[in-house]
Chain A
């Protein structure tokens, strides 16, 4: 191992009951290098990172850091070595200020005034503008991420681990983040960058280590790879693109939203403001947007969980703004909420009961208050079979399925009710690439049969792949929609930031 090597992992192995998360993984990261850790969901990236950060202990194998063998038993020790981590989910207190949040996360408590000065110093130096006195609830997701990054940088780390940092950022915010990361790397900091976005890795990283099903597939120099060769390494097979057939003549209007206004439910909620758009049969409409800009509220307004003035929403020619979810289902609407466990599905109930949950209206599974279980079981089995849901049987509890399988089940449950209109939020969030492709293909097939499809997603790649027309939601307002052929990432970035083009 040369002087250049900062950390070297040797033959790490970690097994959980029923699965080997990491199997004989060795890799090294040099000083000042941005190293990508690439893999599908469930490939073992998180476990490996948790071992490095001391959250999880490896069963076998060893770690050398800075030339010395180390035993990283807990995150505090990892931090004392100079390892810092920015998690995908932030742990911030909304009601506290930036400085207070950072102070809470520090191992050694320092004087608040000094801390504020250092925060300003670091944020200016690395191009991460942030006011230490702002309250967190007033900040955007990108700004919140900056807090986490600055919290790490205050510890002068040698290795910075970033877990899917761009999944919640606008393209412009991503560019800024990359500038910062490059600057850190120029100053000699090593960065372990976890992602499955191939173009980002191409743009940012020098080397990449690819994991698949808990095993290391290869460590490669990114310069020698194309995005599709990286995808090939990650997936083990070439990606099949959904058959995208935009430009077909859209049919009649199935969903029409006019002057939709709904005030926020709580002080920190988002109000929907002056929303106007239409979705026609046979087309897929995409709504982009950074998390927390009213996506959840929009979905609930359309599916009837939130009510509004009757004539704001028209489904299949009927004004339904004042109707609840069941009436709207009768008129042909189905929906898939963003949160799977607890919203789209009941965690502790079987798949049969979860099928009954939304399918009972359109399929008449309940007569005179009595549940027809044999019909429900038939329906559940057909969803499991057609959508390739991996489960022991239809009696498995929803929370025993992996995220991807549960999503296939939920989407399948809605599609198999032969809807006129489907609204889907985050159709493939946290779903592995294979399942994501099959979900997208199923939605496209549904559109081809004449159903109107509305996709609300934060994943731009997905929206660009699927949609015929794209718009964005920002602070509760929905932008105009543009045909996919007239769209590019810069334009959508501006729409997501609320700038009309």
Chain B
């Protein structure tokens, strides 16, 4: 008996949804093995990693705090991925959102006004769009691969942020620490549950999910995105412009990443720091795929991957494991997911002998 893969005639609907579940199970299994190798007791470790962080209402609120940027970016990336536009530089667009939004927040330092927060959020969106717009321009004008350009611009963004808070935007009363002033209250996102850090951003993320769902299911733009991703020639035949789809998806994903960035700095962080994101922009790629590039799927996937951040933190605190364990779990999940996705197009068969 020798296992082999047989191509399915049509892709399997069942496995489209089962693949993430199977991947999650395999991730747990591999994680257990990993804990075992590091001589940590498996059952308590998995409990500390996956259950304990969300066993309290505060833990649940933290889950949403972490999930908010992941969902925002994951939703927008999935629109681009559907169209075959591979923006993997959402991290850089997020940072630019933080810089633009943070810049406006500093501009209105110690001022009050209902208009300040909307202006800050808008600036964040524009910052992300600007960064993604560069990618779109390079792609449509010079046919430069957006995977490379978007990734490389991430490093530029990191250095730009670093320059600003080491230089012109450094807190004058901050004892030379590389950080900006702490934003004033009217620049901060209101907390929506007392005693937690859960802020308005979570609501914005859910609203964005619903909007993206509607766009994808009901609008010409969503239709163009789906057609271009599945059959670009059919899109041209239908009169859709490939360039326009590249611009639209990159601007949308850049805008959403920028929004996620500004929400971070005027939400949980409250000022500009050298690092404003623990890799949300990259993790969101996993979120998009685990969520099957569907807005509602992304919502759940965002919560799941947020748990990997919380689990990583509690594993560090309670088990003295390195924080990187969280990243390892994220990587394992994506790895197994891509492997399991083979089952969407192939079926596993056992052949009686023979090569």
Measured CB to CB, the residues of A under 8 A from B are 303-305, 324-326, 329, 335, 337, 339, 341-349, 353, 356-358, 360-361, 366, 369-371, 373, 397, 399-400
Contact = CB atoms under 8 A, between A and B. Distances in A.
A326 B233 contact: no
Interface string B224-237: 00110011011011
Given A342-B233, A346-B231, A361 B239 contact: yes
A346 B230 contact: yes
B296 interface: no
A303 B236 CA distance: 10
B223 A347 contact: no
Interface string B209-225: 00000000011110100
A302 to B, nearest CB: 12
Given A357-B238, A361-B239, A370-B218, A349 B226 contact: yes
Determine chain B's interface SS by DSSP, over half rule. helix
B37 interface: no
A343 B233 contact: yes
B1 interface: no
A305 B237 contact: yes
A466 B97 CA distance: 62
A349 B230 contact: yes
A417 B230 CA distance: 24
Interface of B: 10-11, 218-221, 223, 226-227, 230-231, 233-234, 236-239, 241
A397 B13 CA distance: 12
B239 A304 contact: yes
Nearest to A323: B239
A371 B238 contact: no
- Most chain B beta-carbon contacts within 10 A, residue among A329, A346, A348, A399: A346
A305 B240 CA distance: 10
17 contacts: A305-B237, A325-B236, A326-B239, A335-B237, A339-B233, A343-B231, A343-B233, A347-B230, A348-B230, A349-B230, A357-B237, A366-B220, A369-B220, A370-B220, A371-B219, A373-B218, A400-B10
B284 to A, nearest CB: 24
Given A349-B226, A349-B230, A397-B10, A344 B237 contact: yes
A353 B10 contact: no
B235 to A, nearest CB: 8
Nearest to B221: A369
Contacts of B219: 369-371
B213 to A, nearest CB: 14
Contact of A344 (B221, B223, B234, B241): B234
A387 B349 CA distance: 39
Contacts of A326: 239
A484 B244 CA distance: 45
Nearest to A345: B234
A129 B241 CA distance: 46
Contacts of A373: 218
Nearest to B222: A371
B223 A356 contact: yes
A116 B98 CA distance: 68
A325 to B, nearest CB: 4
